[in-house]
Amino acid sequence: MYLIFSEILQKMGITPYRLCKDTGISQSTLTNWKNGNYVPKIDKLRKIADYLGVSLEYLMGKSNGSAPEGSNAHSGCEICTVVSGNGMSGIHIFDGDTVLIRRQEQIENGEIGAFMINGRTELKRFYLTDDGYTVLLSENKSVLPLVYPAGKEIPALIGKAIGVKWK
């Protein structure tokens, strides 16, 4: 079961430390789980599954597939991530909402993607300008856009946002 958990973290670009910090689950719990000393209690497993956007059954190895069955599954969705912050509030995506993401290597101008920025998954609207600049734009006027000149490496694209489940 820990192997499934570890694979999900790796695919989503989330560190165990980040998960612990965001969920309040202690690092010793994960270490003991990894070392086979015990399996976390069901309430902690549920918290982990909710945070990762997968069903408890998937986390426990009782269902298969890249888009786990359960309340967070969505046709074409491979990753579900819970929004932290209000960077996309201008399009009614708020803190605590779940965004459904389909893995892909490219997105079109104006589409919303999930990008790995400073170790965090962030939603940004993508634009490639005629003069070669890449602009990653939040949908909140108080958040400055990220602008990358031609030739400068941009944050890694995880995939395209394909839906939202509001809390």
The residue written with tokens 């939202």 in the block is: 164
Is residue 119 in a domain? yes
Is residue 66 in a domain? no
CA 64/CA 75 separation, integer angstroms: 15
Answer yes or no: do 85 and 53 share one domain: no
Is residue 68 in a domain? no
- Percentage of the chain beyond pLDDT 90 is 32
Answer yes or no: do 48 and 91 share one domain: no
Structural domain range at position 18: 2-59
Answer yes or no: do 52 and 86 share one domain: no
Instruction: Give the model's pLDDT for residue 74.
Output: 43
Mean pLDDT confidence for 117-124 = 89
Answer yes or no: do 44 and 94 share one domain: no
Is residue 125 in a domain? yes
pLDDT(106) > 70: yes
Instruction: Give the model's pLDDT for residue 77.
Output: 58
Answer yes or no: do 85 and 159 share one domain: yes
Give the chain's mean pLDDT: 83
User: Is 161 or 63 the better-scoring residue by pLDDT?
Assistant: 161
pLDDT(93) > 90: no
Query: How many domains does the chain contain in total?
Result: 2
Is residue 153 in a domain? yes
Domain CATH for 154: 2.10.109.10
Token pair belonging to 94? 């708020």
DSSP string across the chain:
-HHHHHHHHHHHT--HHHHHHHH---HHHHHHHHTTS-PPPHHHHHHHHHHHT--HHHHTTSS-SSS-SSTT--TT--EEEE--SSTTGGGT--TT-EEEEEE-S---TT-EEEEEETTEEEEEEEEE-TTS-EEEE-SSTTSPPEEE-TTSPPPEEEEEEEEEE--
